[in-house]
Structure 1
Amino acid sequence: MQKRLMLASAALAIAAGTGGAYAQDVTLTIESWRNDDLTIWQQTLIPAFEAAHPGIRVQFNPSAPTEYNAALNAKLEAGSAGDIITCRPFDASLALYQDGYLADLSDLEGIANFSDVAKSAWSTDDGAQTFCVPMASVIHGFIYNADAFAELGLEEPTTTEEFFAVLDAIEADGTYIPLAIGSVDQWESASMGYHNIGPAYWAGEEGRQALIAGEAKFTDEEWVEPLRVLARWGEYAGDGYQAQTYPDSQNLFTLGRAAIFPAGSWEIALFEEQADFALGAFPPPVPAEGDTCYISDHTDIGIGMNANTANPEAARTFLNWVASSEFASLYSNALPGFFALSSEPVTLDNPLANEFVSWRETCESTIRPTYQILSRGTPNLENENWLHASNVLSGAETPEDAAAAIQSGLESWYTPGMFAD
């Protein structure tokens, strides 16, 4: 009898553990829109977790990206959603938390591994509760044809003045289009243009938070000046850039016809596959020598727990693992250009990815200024940035007029503090 009691106690102790074996198998299901990641989860991530956590099995169950939000909401309402929910940044996930579908993870041990900026996409507006573990971000900068730079004797620019000097040299040689960017797909002008170089002018998080608080406006000098810089890009984008799509820009660069691509780090895998020349990368140039470097290190994907899961202990064990340095290394190396948001350094195998992520050590990180709070109304601030940044790049609108239009649209519906509980 005593032996049976001892065995029963041991089984309970094992089941209660967060890192050991479970008394009986538990299967966790992950909901996600990243169906392109299926093999990475099946062949790399899940086997690593299961090997370290006997008794917990994991199934990755993605939906098509365009169908994910609607499909997930329907499953949550019906009570049939998986245990683990992959989280889009900001408002979509915040709404799920406010509706009681995502659990509060503020007390999860692994949450301490992330900065406030990393958590901002999956926290309440006041930052008091965090409901998803940050997984990865994408970093903005410039990817360039390193062979072309060597051929022309060019060095990576660090200031805006040096940047335009490099563009002038490329244009004067005539072999390459200096910049591969078009204005047809409006998001390209904003995300890889305005939001790429802008943080160095509006001081990153300081400027972004000032906008939210109503202490700054798009018509302020620090928000207008990067639009003026963007307007100059049109001189170097090649003939017909006003009719050039984002895929056109990609092709111009990978075919070796353009020397510099204003980029997001998600381009790394594609460019390395398609380009037959050496690639390099440099961060957004600072306005003047000695100024602080800023990068858009934009929160892109997180992962949380279904508040109604039948397996909360196992789910929290899995989420703590996602918050670990082991996961950060596996994920970042499996998907070059998608960078773990953990505060702990990650060793990457891909040299170009290493270059991008190294900027976190020398630059201040921020996120795109339109994503948190300020795009909840109409007109949508993100879409307004797309429209007016593309107008500025194409020469259809002055930077000053664009800034005034963006600010007017925001003021038409937004009042600081309007979303406070």
Structure 2
Amino acid sequence: MNMKLFTAALLGSSLLCSAAHAQEATLTIESWRNDDLAIWQEKLIPAFQAAHPDVKVVFSPSAPTEYNAALNAKLDAGSAGDIITCRPFDASLDLFKNGKLADLTGLSGMENFSDVAKSAWTTDDGKQTFCVPMASVIHGFIYNKDAFKELGIEPPATEDEFFAALDKIKEDGNYIPMAMGTKDLWEAATMGYQNIGPNYWHGEEGRLALIKGEQKLTDPQWVEPFATLAKWKPYLGDGFEAQTYPDSQNLFTLGRAAIFPAGSWEISVFNTQVDFEMGAFPPPVKAAGDTCYISDHTDIGIGMNAATKNPEAAKTFLTWVASPEFAEIYANALPGFFSLNSTPVKMEDPLAQEFVSWRGKCKSTIRSTYQILSRGTPNLENETWVESANVINGTVTPEEAGKKLQAGLDSWYKPAE
């Protein structure tokens, strides 16, 4: 009997050991955000491991331009990390459809996100979600407060006020009114067309109507933002056609330009580089009293490699990423990348708080080209880059840009009946 008890005790202790051993895991995170490395190593991972000491986490980023290709190669070879940082929309949807990302629909913590927050990582039918939403970026205009004060300019609320401010800055001659170039193409579309456009097509109303085929890019609400962009040309400074995105950043941070058409991701970069006070204003509305719309674009999520050997540890980690604790640490460690968690996060950075405050007074939407409409060839997102730059350069008219974009879309896209 004693021998049986001893054997049972031995068996029990070995099961306990193996259970404890099963809890121990090392998770590797794949990401394109190599600028986040210190934040993960110094803030996020220590906070997670304080509650889960048995799960080790290694953040292993790739260069942003190489991430998609490198990740696909690793996934195909079976050498990818356990946790996959997710691009928004089709790149991640393709990974899910190909069995590379796990279904996280039922993951504990997913209830902390709205359908809009999850939209970048949800199937077209809305039934399955495959990445935990981490953050969005918001578009608007960052300005040099010292320059505005010097010239007696208030942040503009309407387009008339906006152009009046640009005229005043240009007339003074001490600053380039606006720092933006067209050489890199995407800058003209992302910080130009997609920044101001939602006020014209009424955010989600227009975006969804475009997907359904109820609106076209030749309609006035899609052509008019191009016409407004064309009016930016005199305010961009000499040689803007050859100006790269880093050139634009430098013009602003060195105090040579008064306004920067921006994405909120600039905040943490600019904070370390400017020696003047910065402010921000949302895209000006066409007329006083109009409803304002902002591009509050779902930018980054995080999912699980379907082939991970540590699924339970990975789910534990992703549930923590879905928590208000993660949201607060991440959003404040990286001001300008705003939490998509339903629990509001108070921003410590005043410029970040200014951007996120617009959620309370404007209607949020995402970039019009990102969901469904850039799956074919020609790719609507990339074509919008080209046409936005061409319109600003004055080589095509706003109407020609709309026609070209719609013709390209019509060549492959048929709205669902």
Provide the TM-score with structure 1 as the length reference: 0.92
AA at the equivalent of 1:152? L
Is residue 2:172 matched to residue 1:170?
Answer: no
Helix, strand or coil at the partner of 1:292: coil
Helix, strand or coil at the partner of 2:59: strand
Residue number in structure 2 paired with 1:280: 279
Unaligned 5+ residue runs, structure 1?
A: 16-20
Deviations 1:8-53 (A, max 9, x none): 79969x96xxxxx886422222122222222221111111001012
Residue number in structure 2 paired with 1:340: 339
Contact 1:22 1:56 survives alignment (8 Å): no
Cα distance in structure 1, aligned partners of 2:74 and 2:180? 40
Residue number in structure 2 paired with 1:59: 58
Q: For 1:130-145, what aligned pairs fall within 5 Å after superposition?
A: 130-145=129-144
Contact 1:328 1:342 survives alignment (8 Å): yes
AA at the equivalent of 1:405? K
Question: Structure 1 residues 309-318 or 100-109, which shifts more?
Answer: 309-318
Contact 2:23 2:313 survives alignment (8 Å): no
Q: For 1:14-413, what aligned pairs fall within 5 Å after superposition?
A: 24-413=23-412
AA at the equivalent of 1:268? I
**Counterparts in 2 of 1:246 and 1:62: CA distance versus 1, 3 Å:** closer
Cα distance in structure 2, aligned partners of 1:302 and 1:44? 18
Contact 1:11 1:23 survives alignment (8 Å): no
Cα distance in structure 2, aligned partners of 1:384 and 1:275? 33
Helix, strand or coil at the partner of 2:262: strand
Residue number in structure 2 paired with 1:18: none
Helix, strand or coil at the partner of 1:61: strand
Cα distance in structure 1, aligned partners of 2:73 and 2:253? 41
Cα distance in structure 1, aligned partners of 2:101 and 2:113? 19
Cα distance in structure 1, aligned partners of 2:328 and 2:340? 11
Question: Structure 1 residues 163-172 or 296-305, which shifts more?
Answer: 163-172
Contact 1:22 1:54 survives alignment (8 Å): no
Contact 2:292 2:362 survives alignment (8 Å): yes
1:395 is displaced (CA, Å) by: 1.3
Deviations 1:134-173 (A, max 9, x none): 1112111000010011111111111112111211222222
**Counterparts in 2 of 1:312 and 1:236: CA distance versus 1, 3 Å:** same
Contact 1:102 1:305 survives alignment (8 Å): yes
Cα distance in structure 2, aligned partners of 1:292 and 1:31? 40
Helix, strand or coil at the partner of 1:109: coil
Cα distance in structure 2, aligned partners of 1:273 and 1:358? 22
Cα distance in structure 2, aligned partners of 1:67 and 1:240? 30
AA at the equivalent of 1:105? L
Identity over aligned pairs, percent: 71
Cα distance in structure 1, aligned partners of 2:174 and 2:259? 13
1:130 is displaced (CA, Å) by: 0.6
Unaligned 5+ residue runs, structure 2?
A: none
Provide the TM-score with structure 2 as the length reference: 0.93
How much is the aligned-residue C-alpha RMSD, in angstroms?
A: 2.3
